[in-house]
Amino acid sequence: SQQGEEDPQALSIQEGENATMNCSYKTSINNLQWYRQNSGRGLVHLILIRSNEREKHSGRLRVTLDTSKKSSSLLITASRAADTASYFCATGVPTKAAGNKLTFGGGTRVLVKP
């Protein structure tokens, strides 16, 4: 079973527009990570936000975390055609046995049209 659920499942926007996607999760977490995956390829780490953080920025990316609502959002500003990919949130609950086993959502498929 998957801990996180992304919303929407798919998103189509024009180049230059902003893209926002949300992630909800069920259990307490220590951190939440966002990854990007181009078709048929491995995952690229985008950003990690700790449970005691509320907002984090990295270039054109902005991530928020609301632990009271068990939700996170990823905003991509000024989107480019190269941002076309699937985006996944993953929650990590570090334990001695499991390291930082990640539980992924189903992903949001983003299409940026030139």
Residues at the interface with another protein (CB under 8 A): 2, 4, 30-31, 33, 35, 40-45, 48, 50, 88, 90, 92, 94, 96-107
Shortest Cβ distance from residue 92 to another protein (Å)?
6
Please identify, using beta-carbon distances, which residue of 15 and 51 lies nearer to another protein. 51
Residue 6 three-state SS = strand
The strand order across the sheet containing 5-7 reads 5-7, 19-24, 71-76, 61-66, 55-58
CB closer to another protein, 18 vs 28: 28
